[in-house]
Amino acid sequence: MNTEKRLWFVFFNDQLLVEKRDGELTIPYQDTPPTPIPEWTHIHELSLFDGEMFNAYSLSAPIPEDEHFAMIGLRASFDVLLHSQYLKAGKAQELIYWDKNSRFCPACGMPMNWHTSISKRCIGCGKEIWPTVATAIIVLITRGDEVLMVHARNFKGDYYGLVAGFVETGETLEECVEREVMEETGLRIRNIRYFASQPWPYPCGLMVGFTAEYESGEIKLQDSELSAGDFFTKDNLPNIPGKMSLARRLIDHWRNEE
Ligand SMILES: [Zn+2]
């Protein structure tokens, strides 16, 4: 075990342990684990693009709130943690989720052992596996000074978002954008342009954002996925998604354009 101070991301399901310090919530930063460690627990040693090493593990029961600690949902942590800590928490949660869902070899059924900090190897046949990333596209479609917004049946709330969907085997991201827009709305689009991407650790997604322009067609909603959808101008927008989403970044970018 390392002896330098590190951030510790401790989860019970999607609940993340946070420390109360100087009236704020933060991630424990110390040289030893902030809780007793269950015997079966694997302590992940991870890093992100900034290179800072951090640790993560999961608990078999939540930590009761006291004057030092509390547990909050990963989504809620977006609003209270430093953004760099939220991103690390997301990676930690994705690895813990994958660990729980990759106990046995998909080829031969024998147990999988950790091989590197982000891969496992089968003790039977030697097969190596890495965490699954479910890639999805999301697209902001403009028509003149209007934007297409939709309400998906799986949205928790009355807000409208953007057309989105999972990439299928064998297609490019741009083909996925065209296909999803056609399937969900019946519209043809043009000028598909990359905007930005974002890890979406709920539980293991990568959102890839695009912009596009309406080309032709009448809106015909895919009834199984969407309950509403229309073009809106900036001054009559419906409720829009929260700030943690790539949808909101796309909408804000469009709203701030001249
Ligand atoms: Zn195997």
Expressed in angstroms and rounded, the spacing between residue 2 Cα and the centre of ligand 1 is 31
Residue boundaries of the structural domains of the chain:
6-100, 104-131, 134-256
Cα–ligand 1 centroid distance for 111 (angstroms): 8
Q: What is the pLDDT of residue 167?
A: 98
Burial class of 101 by CB neighbour count within 10 A (0 to 12, 13 to 18, 19+): exposed
C-alpha 85 to ligand 1 mean position (Å): 35
Q: How is the beta sheet containing 112-116 ordered, strand by strand?
A: 112-116, 119-122, 128-129
Give residue 122 CA to ligand 1 midpoint distance, Å: 5
- Ligand 1 centre and the CA of 104: distance in Å? 8
Q: What is the pLDDT of residue 142?
A: 98
Ligand 1 centroid to Cα of residue 102, in Å, is 11
pTM of the model: 0.92
Q: How far is the CA of 97 from the centre of ligand 1 (A)?
A: 20
CA of 207 to the centre of ligand 1 (A): 31
SS3 state of residue 174: helix
Q: Look at residue 27 in the predicted model and tell me its pLDDT.
A: 98
Residues of the chain short of pLDDT 50, as ranges, are: none
What is the structure's pLDDT at 184? Answer: 96
Distance in Å, CA 121 to ligand 1 centroid: 8
Please tell me whether residue 43 adopts helix, strand or coil conformation: coil
Could you list which residues have their CB under 5 Å from ion ligand 1?
Answer: 105, 107-108, 110, 122, 124-125, 127
Between the CA of 110 and the centroid of ligand 1 the distance, in Å, is 5
Let me know if domain 134-256 sits in CATH 3.30.750.24.
no
Give the angle subtended at the CA of 83 by the CAs of 19 and 196, to the nearest 5°. Answer: 155
Q: For residue 130, how far is its CA from the centre of ligand 1 (angstroms)? A: 14
Q: What is the CA(184)–ligand 1 centre distance, in A?
A: 39
In the chain, what is the greatest distance between 2 CA atoms, to the nearest angstrom? 62
| Ligand 1 centroid distance, CA of 129 (Å) | 10
C-alpha of residue 177 to centroid of ligand 1, in Å? 36
Distance 160 CA to ligand 1 centre (A): 45
DSSP string, 85-145: HHHHHHHHHHHHHHHHT-SB-TTT-PBEEEEETTEEEETTT--EE----EEEEEEEEEETT
How much is the pLDDT for 1?
Answer: 54
